[in-house]
């Protein structure tokens, strides 16, 4: 009987640890998505800037 109680307690503890880890994982995922969004935005702005300058100089006369 004692063994069954111990196993049940272990299952409950594992559930709490898993639940906490999933919550923590969600926080990390949102943080990573935010960083990826910032990097994507910077890359796009750099491409747009060079694209504009390149097309301007193509047919531009001084």
Q: What is the mean pLDDT of each run of 10 residues along the chain (62 residues)?
A: 58 66 86 92 78 55 58
Residue 59 maps to a domain: no
Check residue 31 and give its pLDDT: 93
- Provide the number of structural domains found in the chain: 1
Residue 56 maps to a domain: no
Check residue 45 and give its pLDDT: 83
Residue 2 maps to a domain: no
Question: Which H helix or E strand runs over 21?
Answer: helix 2-59
Residue 52 maps to a domain: no
CA 30 remoteness from chain centre: 5
Residue 57 maps to a domain: no
What is the span of the domain harbouring residue 16? 8-45
Check residue 8 and give its pLDDT: 63
Task: Tell if the pTM clears 0.95, that is, is over it.
Answer: no
Residue 53 maps to a domain: no
């Amino acid at each position: 009987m004692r063994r069954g109680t111990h196993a049940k307690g272990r299952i409950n503890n594992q559930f709490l640890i898993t639940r906490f880890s999933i919550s923590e994982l969600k926080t990390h995922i949102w943080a990573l998505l935010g960083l990826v969004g910032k990097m994507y935005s910077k890359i796009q702005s750099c491409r747009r800037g060079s694209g504009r300058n390149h097309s301007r100089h193509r047919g531009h006369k001084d």
